[in-house]
Amino acid sequence: MARGFSEKKLVIASHNPGKVREISGLLQGFGVDVVSAGDLGLPEPVEDGESFIANAEIKARAAATGSGLPALADDSGLCVHGLGGDPGIYSARWAGPDKDFTLAMKTVNEKLGDQKDRTAHFIAALALAWPDGHLEVFEGRVDGTLVWPPSGHNGFGYDAMFRPDGHQITFGNFDPADKHNISHRADAFRQLVAACFQ
């Protein structure tokens, strides 16, 4: 059985403002005061895991140890079926040192070329770590199709080129509240809330 979360403060183990904003929004209503690892001046750990869950665990454990508070980390990425699952766990790296996701989306589109298979899925792994070493992990997924050119200015990362199944617009055109209802992160969060926030 998962450990219940009863603390009043939680570190979001991320230096990505878009991700911090989205996770903070998903945590609203649970009476938890959130602070980001970036705001605390915690260094970004080396993410050398071989899966989304492994990298989320690295970030959560580093933030929990560094802050002395429970920490929640997300590792997420885009898996393009026509590229054998790439960029996958390297999704952020494809954006380069300047975190230029316009470049990253262009790279994905160029690598796909004129392939007919433009299906893809987003994965979000969540790791909730306590300073005593306890860890809970969850993984969510959403399937969709890649479009070109990108469309919309909401969201972050690859959102502007990802159209989730059953919808006619990209995540980049979604209202944030609507994205929270169907995204890979929302899927993982539903599992986290059911296990730890009841």
Note the pLDDT tens digit of each residue in 136-190.
Answer: 999 999 999 999 999 999 988 999 999 999 999 999 999 988 998 899 998 999 9
Check whether the bond before 149 is cis (ω within 30° of 0).
yes
Query: Domain ranges in the chain?
Result: 9-196
User: Is there a catalytic annotation at residue 75?
Assistant: yes
What letter does residue 46 receive in the DSSP assignment? P
77-123: per-residue pLDDT in tens?
999 999 999 999 999 999 999 989 999 999 999 999 999 999 999 99
Q: Which of 18, 128, 11 is nearest to 66 (CA)?
A: 11
Q: Where are the alpha helices (DSSP H) in the chain?
A: 17-27, 52-67, 101-112, 176-182, 184-196
Q: Which helix (H) or strand (E) holds 162?
A: strand 162-164
Q: What separation in angstroms does the CA of 28 have from each of 5, 9, 23, 119, 180?
A: 14, 13, 9, 32, 12
In whole angstroms, give the CA distance from residue 105 to residue 148: 9
In whole angstroms, give the CA distance from residue 37 to residue 49: 19
pTM: 0.90
In whole angstroms, give the CA distance from residue 20 to residue 39: 11
DSSP E strand stretches across 19-70: 33-36
4-56: per-residue pLDDT in tens?
998 989 999 998 888 888 888 888 888 899 999 999 999 999 999 999 999 99
Q: Which fold has domain 9-196?
A: Maf protein (3.90.950)
Looking at residue 21, what is its pLDDT?
A: 86
| Cβ-based neighbour number of residue 191 at 10 Å | 16
Looking at residue 152, what is its pLDDT?
A: 96
Asked if 172 and 149 count as a contact pair (C-beta separation under 8 A), the reply is: no
- The C-alpha angle 31, 35, 39, rounded to 5 degrees, equals 165
33, 48, 74, 75: which one is catalytic? 75
